[in-house]
Amino acid sequence: MSNKTDSNLYTILFAIAMVIVVGGLLAFTASALRPRIDNNERLEKQQNILYAMGVNANDESSAIFVSTDEAPELFSKYITKQLVLQGNEVSEDNEAFLIDVKKEQTSAKEGNERRLPLFVGNKDGKTYYIAPIRGKGLWDAIWAYVAMDENMVVQGAYFDHKGETAGLGANIKQRYFMDDFIGESLMSNGSFKGITVAKGNNDPKNTDKNDNEVDAIAGATITGDGVSAMLKSELKQYVSYFENLKNN
């Protein structure tokens, strides 16, 4: 190394130049690609919602979405209503789709009343209510789209995560885990109970659909607990909507 690169002035100038160049490069990439990324994320959300209500291209064992080209068209075909629930008020809002669940959770913590998006879909004469929910896994955020019928029995679910361990917690987005939720009821004897991801339950094939339990993934205890907690705390807020639905 020459002496030139050892001087303090050079070091400081180099650091400044580096920050400007790298910062500029990152800012440029991020802003140039933003519209495309946003569009991809929107399509993914539509794919996720459709997946939960059973509109997907699944083969025997893996979870496959409808293609991105078809997603917008299928979304407007199958999703009949987009609702926003706030307190006891229910309003129809075609922008419900754009509600950011994470932001709503934060603002609810600050004491504001939370806006809960709910998508109503219709497929082969059957009505699906799909709720987007969000919670915490082991390392980072986990989220899900849960499709229910009017009795809060799960009809389909799609789980995803930001950074769970590959091969362990990341397996919540595998079919063998997600499919177990189908047919499980969130209610028990008329009150809300949620669904627990249970370790050591004696029902690995998940034949008992009335136990409010699905089989956990080995080696993913904390992610599984996060899923249970998310389902419980988030879907509970939808209970009053379903109760009103029945009374009317």
Partner 1 sequence: MGLLSKKDAALIKDPLADNNPITIQVLGICSALAITAELEAAIVMSISVLFVLGIGNVVISLMRNIIPSKIRIIVQLIVVAALVIIVDQVLKAFAYELSKTLSVFVGLIITNCIIMGRFEAFALGNGPWRSFLDGIGNSLGYGVILIIVAFFRELLGAGTLLGFKVLGDPIDKTGVYAFGYENNGFMIMPPMALIVVGIIIWVQRSRNTALIEDH
By CB under 8 A, the residues from 132 to 151 that bind partner 1 are: none
Minimum CB distance to partner 1 smaller for 23 or for 87: 23
| Contact track, partner 1, 214-233, x by CB under 8 A | ----xx--------------
HSE at residue 22, side-chain half, CA atoms within 13 A, is 6
Q: Does 72 bind partner 1 (CB under 8 A)?
A: no
Which residue type is seen at 217? I
Cα pseudo-dihedral 72, 73, 79, 83, rounded to 10: 40
HSE at residue 71, side-chain half, CA atoms within 13 A, is 19
Q: How far is the CB of 165 from partner 1 (least distance, A)?
A: 7
Q: Which of 16, 20, 25, 57 binds partner 1 (CB under 8 A)?
A: 25
Q: Does 24 bind partner 1 (CB under 8 A)?
A: no
CA 131 to chain centre: 9
Tell me the C-alpha distance between 17 and 21, whole Å: 6
Minimum CB distance to partner 1 smaller for 48 or for 155: 48
DSSP track, 179-214: GGGTT-BSEETTEE---EEETT-S-TT---TTSSEE
**Near partner 1 by CB under 8 A, which window of 15-23, 81-89, 92-100, 188-196?**
15-23
**Near partner 1 by CB under 8 A, which window of 12-20, 121-129, 190-198, 226-234?**
12-20
Tell me the C-alpha distance between 207 and 197, whole Å: 15
Q: Which of 86, 103, 163, 244 binds partner 1 (CB under 8 A)?
A: 163
Report phi then psi at 115, rounded to 5: -95, 125
Tell me the C-alpha distance between 166 and 138, whole Å: 12
| Contact track, partner 1, 26-65, x by CB under 8 A | x--xx--x--xx--x--xx----------------x----
The answer to whether the beta carbons of residues 47 and 66 sit under 8 Å apart is: yes
Q: Does 109 bind partner 1 (CB under 8 A)?
A: no
Q: Contact residues for partner 1 (CB under 8 A)?
A: 1-2, 5-6, 10-11, 14-15, 18, 22, 25-26, 29-30, 33, 36-37, 40, 43-44, 61, 68, 162-168, 170, 204-205, 218-219
